[in-house]
Structure 1
Amino acid sequence: MKKKKEKNQVLNILSYIVIILIAVIAAQHLNVVISGSMEPAFYRGDIVAIEKTSMFGLQEFNPETDVHTGDIVVYNAKWYPDPVIHRVISESTDTSGQKYFVIKGDNNNAPDPLVVLPSQITAKVLTIGNKPVVIPLIGYITIMIRGL
């Protein structure tokens, strides 16, 4: 009886560890939308599911080869302090062979002010049937806490 109780305790602890790991991984694959620049694809306060370039040292996708026109990406802009979530509207290569992207918010009139290098891209928004995976409005909690 005592061994069975100990075994159950070990299984319970392992279950909690697995649940915590899943929660940590899931949380790392969600991004809060802080502006309306991508409306109507998603709105301020929504949360989008993302695929990171790498997590815990494991590469999930390569921006050099896995980002294409039409993809929605998260990148570190040189012109804005927070990560930006916008759509790739074109991709090209300069004369030295360096690939770059022109990126724009769906709700913006003009592309972002600077081209984006693959090294600036940190994540890609997950899509199902070309529609982003979105959890509506839940991100407002984070927006209020951060004062955005």
Structure 2
Amino acid sequence: MSLTSRSLPRIALMLVLALVILSMIVPSSALDFLRFEYGWVDRMMVLLFTISPGADLDHLIAFGLLGFMAPFGWPRGRSWQVALSLLSIATIVEFVQLWIPGREAAVSHALLDVIGGMAGFAFAWVLGYAWGGKGLPEEAASR
């Protein structure tokens, strides 16, 4: 089995998806261990909390990265399909967090996940359009 240039973005998307899900469902005791064991993790978390206290930037950033990778790993995915996928992933993650010690499930987190993911998706689309790799979506071009 050889890796083609089309399969690498899909693999990268799946890896980002796995990392995002893992980061959202890991128990808080594991996060505390990582903060204690690796100083850069602690500094990153302190930076996020300093920039926006109480705003849960981790959700926006994690799903923003996932949304950014979506057009590359899923090039035929429409924006509504990406939004529905992000909403499904966010809902499942928040539902699973009900049973994870130290984690807090909230509808607002799922909304932040979808907003961050769609912002990342839009940013990737704008970059692709600016570099000439993508045209206008069919809906906008037909108007």
Q: Same fold (TM over 0.5)?
A: no
| TM-score, normalised via structure 1 length | 0.27
The answer to which structure has the higher helix fraction is 2
Greater radius of gyration (CA): 1
Could you state the TM-score of these two structures normalised by the residue count of structure 2?
0.28
Tell me which protein shows more strand as a share of its residues.
1
Higher relative contact order (CA 8 A, sep 6+): 2
